[in-house]
Amino acid sequence: MAETTLTPERVDLLQSLQLHRFFLRNTARNLTDEQAGQRSTVSELCIGGLIKHVADTERAWVDFILDGPAAMQPPADPAAYARHAESFRMLPGDTLAGVLAAYDEVASRTDDLVHTLPDLDASQPLPEAPWFEPGARWSARRVLLHVIAETSQHAGHADIIREAIDGAKSMG
């Protein structure tokens, strides 16, 4: 795809994505791999796992923009649900550097899409799922706004987890 002119809307989308990615990544600053995998609250969540999950989610939504609902069909087998649950954890062999590098790759792909997508109004039907309105369609714009919200929400989770690990705060 050829690069489109960056309209103010596209600039806003990119800047918002980059800001909330920064907030999420910032929670991992100066952590060891062990700390990145540490559960510091009653939740199952850890900072490294949240970054993995956000990267997986962003990748899936970009696939949806490009390929439609088939890119997001939830597999019905129990192993697929187990893999989804693992996306929230640091697994043996995972490193914080590796998780962050994978997130950078996903972010670069998304940013490239925002630069090159011919039409932010292009829409796809959402996959059938109990959490989506039947027959609903989302535009690329709506998907990107969802990715921003997802990233922001999980950055907040990560901030709480980080503060419980060593008292460090992302802001304030």
- 138 DSSP assignment: E
**CATH number of the domain where residue 102 is located:** 1.20.120.450
Q: Is residue 172 part of a domain?
A: no
- 28 DSSP assignment: T
Q: Is residue 1 part of a domain?
A: no
Cβ neighbourhood burial of 3 (10 Å; 0-12, 13-18, 19+): exposed
Q: Is residue 55 part of a domain?
A: yes
* Global confidence as pTM: 0.92
Q: How many domains are there within the chain?
A: 1
Provide the domain limits for residue 54: 8-166
**Residues 56 and 74: beta-carbon distance below 8 Å:** no
- DSSP strands (E only) in the chain: 123-125, 137-139
Q: Is residue 101 part of a domain?
A: yes
Q: Is residue 2 part of a domain?
A: no
30-66 pLDDT, tens digit each: 999 999 999 999 988 999 999 999 999 999 999 999 9
Q: Is residue 22 part of a domain?
A: yes
Q: Is residue 128 part of a domain?
A: yes
106-153 pLDDT, tens digit each: 999 999 999 999 999 999 999 888 888 999 999 999 999 999 999 999
